[in-house]
Structure 1
Amino acid sequence: MKVILLVPDGVGVRNYLFSNFTSNLLKEGNEVLVYHNLSDSAIEEIKINKPEINNFKKIPDFIESPKARLLRETLAYARLLRNEKTLKNKTILKFWSPSKKGFKKKILYFIAEVLGYLLSNSYLLIKKADRFYEKEVSKSKSSKSTENLLVDFKPDIVLNLHQRAPITSPIITAAKKNSITTATVIFSWDNVPKARLISRYDYYFVWSNLMKNQLLELYSEIIPTQVKISGTPQFEFYSYANLYEDRKVFLNKFGLDENKKTICFSGNDISSPYDAVYLKDICEEISKIDKNRRPQILFRRCPVDMSDRFDIVLKKYKEFVFSIDPDWKTGKVNGDSFATIYPTINDNRLLVNTVKHSDLVINLGSTMAHDFAILDKPCLYLNYDPVEDSKFKVEDVFNFEHFKSMEDIEAVGWINKKNEIYNKIFEGLDTPEKVGKERKEWLRRIVLHPTNNNSDQLSNLILNNN
């Protein structure tokens, strides 16, 4: 079998190229072409650590025509409006936050919002607009160039590793035109309601039955046989014994004390504006604890957050706060988004050891709760507004659709006020079995179990589905 993997940015590298997934596909004489939009340094990182992956080709530049861009944004807004009604969840529209800098963008999004509102009243019109969008992108040079590649390589399937990237849409239309099977993974646990599933595929690989049901509910044109539950390789690295380091060696390397309780504070990207304030609040409470009993904080920032917003707190509390930055690199100057950066293989080691050697994680609704649940460790979610009269409300965060999956279980502990930090931390450290005691149940709802063979599950579905 011949497989084309679309890798439009760096986010898919860790889960799909550094895991066993691609290695599994290459067994028994199968061929894999990585059709990518990565930097040269990212490709070198892959080749060094996964030498069996040796066929790479750059995706042609793709600039959406004004008509295609307008259609895509119109469709996104129309679907968000429908999703809001279907799911009865007003926070869905929080995902509509386009940049309106400049006159042209203001006009673009004004028209998109007007047309999107009109389209949202008829799903039939939305489906027609989807077809118009595909027809428009099929006219691009990227689509025509891809057709030549498809004729030469003759793939059995084209698999998109990030369903949100516009650069993949002309490639999918070219594959459809040539009657080649198309598929996509749904990259993250919160992606489905966000209305950024740009193309339509023959198959959709999802994390869980929960995600499958949601996809079928929001996209009536998709039928159940098209949706395959594969899990995600994202959590598989915790089963790789060769990644783990001795506790003393790992912690001492970054200045931490192996004899002290360790709290991981994991940051979100800058769309969560008050993470540094939360870290300050936690540090202020911990600083009141006697040094002999005081836990230490291991700080892991979001890989795309290269801001200096944490610097003042880290400097002030350097006695017990230690930063272990993710080992992600960028192929471009000032790259600060998932579109320009990529993980190194070393970051897998940093992440699994961060979770292994921390006793507790604290954050604002992060997926890291699941990482810690893999090793049966508790998470505390921050559930208060740290700044008065802020437009950013923590209430909105935990009303997002993906958190409905935890409504009837004790999946995490909650810090509802700053003055609860002290007691909640020691509850999590001293009696971890009582804090978020149903974290494993939540994890089973979110992702297919066992999590240590999701690469096998996905590769088997691909190889046996054609």
Structure 2
Amino acid sequence: MSQNSYDKPSKVLGLVIVDGVGFKNFVLSDFLNQATGGFDRIIIYSGLPASAFDVETNVSLEIVELTVFIESRTAWFWRKMKEVAHLQQHKKNFFGIAANLDKNRPKEISKRAKLISLIFKITSICNSEKWIDFYNKRQINAISKNPVHSGYKKMLSDHNCDLLFFTHQRPPYLAVLDDAAKKLGIKTCSFIFSWDNLPSKGRMAAPFDSFLVWSDLMKEELHYFYPETKNKPVKVVGTPQFEPYVMNQYHSTKKEFSERFNIKQNLKTICYSCGDISTSQNDGLYIETIATSILYKEIPEVNLIVRTSPAENGSRFSEIKEKFPFIIWNFPQWELTREDHPEPWSQRVPFGQDVKDLRSLLEFCDLNINMCSTMSLDFMIFDKPVINPVFGNAENRIYNDQKYLQYAHYERVVKSGAVSIVKNKKELIESIKFSLENPQARIDQQRALLKLQIGKPLEGTSYRIVQALKEIS
């Protein structure tokens, strides 16, 4: 069967896209192309402005902007109870969850801080799945009284959806949509958004009816953290996050890459990919360390490209940019579509050209350096060596990024041997020289890690997702 060949479609799919990353994964991949062949109609329920979608709408594809949900104090309280209880339940066995719990502790004096302190006291004892279910029911009771809930319910009813597919499982307002769907008898399904969401993040927004996951590993994690999912459909499909890397429209030649980034073609190229400042505060330190090493010829002369985080505008690197004019900067082409929003970072949406730029960096750079991010996987897909610098710890007054080595999802990467972990300048320089001279040294470990984490081939990812959704609906 060809990937666009289906039995006669007879369903309406509601597709919930909450942010720019979801847009990249499900609009700039092959998903919409496959979904329009598998369903009669697709209604995109968007947390982004409709103007962000450069797609042709017609009788089979409609875009509906979601009304922004403003949470009541009561709904907030019960949601917070549910989320903190989940963290309390798993803090002993998962460092990332314990760190996440600590972030939630009140660090000020206010009425809300006192409420959070109360929540911590209660959930330190009452944090079983039965208690979490109790908190969830109270939260649902509170949000069902919000006018947005009735609005969502009418919207879903008018569109006669058969399945509501959430491309993310964490934003709190998804609980409103999920409950509105359940009250109408509409099935719900959620995609597990990222490889760290289960072992390192907080509670899911809602008890969805079914799930799509990257891999068998993620399926095991889902069953561990959410035991009730053992009795629900869970499909292993891979992830559309990486599918553009095998799509012809995003391919570039090496000549195009060299011209776009002004590359010296006789030199090898290092790409440093940044995180955002909330988790990757030492990016400037690492960029400056690499650049200085190039200046003083401690490493061979290379092209150095820095790709900043799509969640930021790159302004925090202005001094480094001025100090080292030979650095080539790639500021991701993500447009801020809405400024007056509770979470403006979520409103940044990528252009297709940025996906093309990223793919060319992955294919034609010789080495990637990043601080323990998903970009490690991106570069491994193209068989490129990866270095993770983590200079900071609790003792040396540098932001403690060594803690991320203990997060469950990245601890697995470290133990796999697929990346080089460096904890000071000397180790970084040595690892750069070794990796440039021996790019295939960790290739077997990298491929084994990709198979474990992604689970399925990149080719046909969207087709598998649509087939899974058809089976669920």
Measured against the shorter chain, the TM-score band is over 0.9
**Structure-1 separation of matches of 2:437 and 2:193:** 35
Of 56-65 and 329-338, the range deviating more from structure 2? 329-338
Of 309-318 and 342-351, the range deviating more from structure 2? 309-318
State the shift of 1:246 in Å: 2.2
State the shift of 1:225 in Å: 4.2
1:93 to 93, 98, 123: 98
State the shift of 1:236 in Å: 0.8
Task: Confirm whether residue 161 of structure 1 aligns to residue 171 of structure 2.
Answer: no
SS of aligned partner of 1:119: coil
1:326 alignment partner in structure 2: 332
1:278 alignment partner in structure 2: 286
User: Residues 13 and 41 of structure 2 are in contact (CA less than 8 Å); yes or no, is this contact kept in structure 1?
Assistant: yes
2:33 alignment partner in structure 1: 23
Deviation track 1:337-376 (CA, whole Å, cap 9, x = no partner) reads: 5322111121111110111111110011011111111111
Deviation track 1:174-193 (CA, whole Å, cap 9, x = no partner) reads: 10011110011111110013
User: Residues 210 and 233 of structure 2 are in contact (CA less than 8 Å); yes or no, is this contact kept in structure 1?
Assistant: yes
The letter for the 2-side match of 1:143 is H
Task: Confirm whether residue 459 of structure 1 aligns to residue 466 of structure 2.
Answer: yes
1:248 alignment partner in structure 2: 255
User: Residues 203 and 227 of structure 1 are in contact (CA less than 8 Å); yes or no, is this contact kept in structure 2?
Assistant: yes
1:439 alignment partner in structure 2: 446
State the shift of 1:406 in Å: 2.9
Task: Confirm whether residue 403 of structure 1 aligns to residue 410 of structure 2.
Answer: yes
The letter for the 2-side match of 1:187 is F
Quick one: structure 1 residues 437 and 74, their matched pair in 2 at CA, closer, same or farther if it must change by over 3 Å? Answer: same
Deviation track 1:413-440 (CA, whole Å, cap 9, x = no partner) reads: 2223211222211211111111464111
**Structure-2 separation of matches of 1:156 and 1:91:** 37
User: Residues 169 and 205 of structure 2 are in contact (CA less than 8 Å); yes or no, is this contact kept in structure 1?
Assistant: yes
Q: What are the residue-to-residue correspondences of 1:199-238 with 2, within 5 Å?
A: 199-223=206-230, 225-238=232-245
User: Residues 269 and 366 of structure 2 are in contact (CA less than 8 Å); yes or no, is this contact kept in structure 1?
Assistant: yes
Of 357-366 and 71-80, the range deviating more from structure 2? 71-80
The letter for the 2-side match of 1:167 is Y
User: Residues 448 and 454 of structure 1 are in contact (CA less than 8 Å); yes or no, is this contact kept in structure 2?
Assistant: no
Of 234-243 and 295-304, the range deviating more from structure 2? 234-243
Q: What are the residue-to-residue correspondences of 1:8-407 with 2, within 5 Å?
A: 8-27=18-37, 30-43=40-53, 46-47=54-55, 54-85=61-92, 88-96=93-101, 97-98=103-104, 103-120=110-127, 122-193=128-199, 194-223=201-230, 225-271=232-278, 272-289=280-297, 293-319=300-326, 321-333=327-339, 337-385=344-392, 389-390=396-397, 392-406=399-413
Quick one: structure 1 residues 283 and 180, their matched pair in 2 at CA, closer, same or farther if it must change by over 3 Å? Answer: same
**Structure-1 separation of matches of 2:324 and 2:163:** 52
SS of aligned partner of 1:438: helix
User: Residues 140 and 170 of structure 1 are in contact (CA less than 8 Å); yes or no, is this contact kept in structure 2?
Assistant: no
The letter for the 2-side match of 1:91 is G
User: Residues 49 and 65 of structure 2 are in contact (CA less than 8 Å); yes or no, is this contact kept in structure 1?
Assistant: no
Deviation track 1:214-234 (CA, whole Å, cap 9, x = no partner) reads: 111111222154221111101
- Structure 2 unaligned runs (5+)? 1-10
Of 251-260 and 137-146, the range deviating more from structure 2? 251-260
Of 343-352 and 260-269, the range deviating more from structure 2? 343-352
The letter for the 1-side match of 2:95 is K
2:5 alignment partner in structure 1: none
State the shift of 1:18 in Å: 1.4
SS of aligned partner of 1:443: helix
Quick one: structure 1 residues 84 and 29, their matched pair in 2 at CA, closer, same or farther if it must change by over 3 Å? Answer: closer
The letter for the 1-side match of 2:316 is R
State the shift of 1:42 in Å: 1.0
State the shift of 1:104 in Å: 4.1
Quick one: structure 1 residues 386 and 266, their matched pair in 2 at CA, closer, same or farther if it must change by over 3 Å? Answer: farther
User: Residues 47 and 54 of structure 1 are in contact (CA less than 8 Å); yes or no, is this contact kept in structure 2?
Assistant: no
SS of aligned partner of 2:256: helix
Of 370-379 and 102-111, the range deviating more from structure 2? 102-111
User: Residues 181 and 202 of structure 1 are in contact (CA less than 8 Å); yes or no, is this contact kept in structure 2?
Assistant: yes
Quick one: structure 1 residues 277 and 407, their matched pair in 2 at CA, closer, same or farther if it must change by over 3 Å? Answer: closer
Deviation track 1:198-252 (CA, whole Å, cap 9, x = no partner) reads: 1011101111111111111111222154221111101111111332222232222
User: Residues 143 and 171 of structure 1 are in contact (CA less than 8 Å); yes or no, is this contact kept in structure 2?
Assistant: yes
Residue identity (%): 27
User: Residues 31 and 462 of structure 2 are in contact (CA less than 8 Å); yes or no, is this contact kept in structure 1?
Assistant: yes
The letter for the 1-side match of 2:198 is V
- How many residues of Structure 1 are paired with residues of Structure 2 in the alignment? 458
The letter for the 1-side match of 2:19 is D
**Structure-2 separation of matches of 1:6 and 1:237:** 20
Deviation track 1:122-169 (CA, whole Å, cap 9, x = no partner) reads: 331112112221222122212101111222111110011111112221
2:3 alignment partner in structure 1: none
RMSD of aligned alpha carbons = 2.3
User: Residues 161 and 184 of structure 1 are in contact (CA less than 8 Å); yes or no, is this contact kept in structure 2?
Assistant: yes
Task: Confirm whether residue 413 of structure 1 aligns to residue 423 of structure 2.
Answer: no
Quick one: structure 1 residues 309 and 53, their matched pair in 2 at CA, closer, same or farther if it must change by over 3 Å? Answer: farther
SS of aligned partner of 2:91: helix
The letter for the 1-side match of 2:286 is Y
**Structure-1 separation of matches of 2:406 and 2:393:** 18
User: Residues 378 and 428 of structure 1 are in contact (CA less than 8 Å); yes or no, is this contact kept in structure 2?
Assistant: yes
The letter for the 2-side match of 1:353 is S
Quick one: structure 1 residues 17 and 426, their matched pair in 2 at CA, closer, same or farther if it must change by over 3 Å? Answer: same
The letter for the 1-side match of 2:45 is Y
**Structure-2 separation of matches of 1:309 and 1:91:** 26
- Structure 1 unaligned runs (5+)? none
Quick one: structure 1 residues 407 and 268, their matched pair in 2 at CA, closer, same or farther if it must change by over 3 Å? Answer: closer
**Structure-2 separation of matches of 1:11 and 1:101:** 32
State the shift of 1:382 in Å: 0.9
User: Residues 379 and 435 of structure 1 are in contact (CA less than 8 Å); yes or no, is this contact kept in structure 2?
Assistant: no
